[in-house]
Amino acid sequence: MKYIFCLLLFIAVWPVSAQDQPHIFLIMTDQQRGDCLGKENSLIKTPHLDALANDGAWFSNGYSSVPSCTPARAGLLTGMSPWQHGMLGYYKVAEKYDYEMPQMLRDNGYYAIGIGKMHWHPQRNLHGFHQTLLDESGRVESEGFVSDYRQWFATKAPNVDPDATGIGWNEHRSGTYLLAEDLHPTYWTAQTAIDFVDEYNQDEPLFMKVSFARPHSPYDPPKRYLDMYEGVDIPEPYMGEWAERFANYPENKDAAFGDYGVEHAVNSRRHYYAAITFIDDQIGRFITELKEKGMYDNALIIFVSDHGDMMGDHNHWRKTYAYEGSTRVPFIVKWPGSVNSEVQKGSELLQCVELRDILPTMLDVAGVQQPERMDGLSMMDLVKDEAAEWRQYIDLEHATTYDEHNYWCALTDGETKYVWFFRTGEEQLFDLIADKGEERNLVENKQYQKTLKAWRKKMVAHLKERGEPYVKKGKLQSFDKNILISPNYPQ
């Protein structure tokens, strides 16, 4: 069934002619781990995303600096680091920023539409999109809000419960989807995007954000996708030597910590893998539509997730943590055919990239000057020149969530990770090459003392601009105050 759209078009002046500007597509998932991509993990089936990476590049050290939904999306929206956009933990995305992805592309000649999950406040805020068609997983955070998906569902399947599976959006339980596959929000998001592209015949280049609300829980793939993983040896959670303290928390289906047994964790992960394969198939359908429409070859297509999912690693569930399961995300860039690249298609690039780098990349491709204050970097620099100067490491952090101890800042170059806990003064140091699961904290290891001191010094340099209580007299400080927003958060 085709969806009916009201296109509110406008006339704009842009720096280069419309036909010279490639279409731009941002495809994203919610809560997908970096190791849940076929390019890295042969146990998970993502053939369409793998093919997209083979037409571009896979950044295997892609990160989300504030790994929960809203602050991650603030970085994506603004091209800014956490301290600069102001969200240091889970809070409301501000109503207006100086730099906003849809508005900047709209101002420079693009028709901008967002489909799926935005997680903005108020929920109908456009941030410059001409229109959005929303699926917000049933969340009602603005008075009277009903998502476009829920409105569509009510006409497509009247008197049917869209939440019939009975699993909440933060649970670690799992189950198969109980309704027809084409009623699932994953299918709706893709089909809505496909139908829009099919009917798009405007002169303006198109910027489209296609944002899936899964594989974020509920882990509820259609049964035929779960069946694809029957007999597959799903990996057990990583379990650090340091993780025992998180095992004995009160049992709760929404738990952030706790040991629920290997069998439970593996079962949830099996459903999670299946949910990702379901999404991958929908992305494949969308890419097929782009090719049939003649929009694929000279388009910038970026695939990313807002953050990861611990899936029981170290007795942790959900996100907001410093560890790879939470902070590292899949990151694929397929550049337009008009870009002269040194990088061979299908390459794995090792530089640390982050959500803040996506808007600068889009602006670069669109021929728009990046504002000086925008501190993300254009990944086109790496595509055009393999030896291009790049950041040495990326910063990660999250204000207190779930438990008082979970208040931290981290730095990583993709090979080593240093974590500083603000409330306790605890440190962690991981060798990500030898220990990708972060199971061994090397802080007390004599062979790593020089490394520890070097990363501690980097952390002081990173936090220095914030002043007290973060740094005092050139040393890291622990403190009781929870700082959720920086002075740069728009009031």
Q: Letter for the amino acid at 290?
A: L
SS3 414: coil
Catalytic residue among 23, 119, 130, 316: 119
Q: Is 264 a catalytic residue?
A: no
**Which tokens hold the place of 203?**
């002169």
Q: Residue 206 pairs with which residues in a beta bridge?
A: 111
CA distance 390 to 372: 16
Q: Letter for the amino acid at 19?
A: Q
DSSP string, 428-440: EEEETTT-TT---
CA distance 466 to 427: 20
Q: Is 358 left (phi over 0), alpha (psi -120 to 50) or beta?
A: alpha
Q: Is 216 a catalytic residue?
A: no
Q: What angle do CA 222, 226, 231 make, to 5 degrees?
A: 165
Tokens 């108020």 correspond to what residue?
A: 122
Q: Exposure of 117 by Cβ count < 10 A (0-12 exposed, 13-18 middle, 19+ buried)?
A: buried
**Which tokens hold the place of 160?**
């049917």
CA distance 81 to 267: 36
From the CB of residue 440, how many other CB atoms can be counted at a distance below 10 Å? 15
DSSP 87: B
**Which tokens hold the place of 124?**
């109908």
Contact in structure between 349 and 343 (CB atoms under 8 Å): yes
Q: Residue 394 pairs with which residues in a beta bridge?
A: 412
Q: Is 417 left (phi over 0), alpha (psi -120 to 50) or beta?
A: beta
Backbone angles phi, psi at 463, to 5 degrees: -90, -5
DSSP string, 197-238: HHH---SSPEEEEEEEEEESSSB---HHHHHTTTT--PPPPP
Catalytic residue among 36, 69, 352, 409: 69
DSSP 356: G
CA distance 219 to 113: 27
Q: Which residues are catalytic?
A: 69, 119
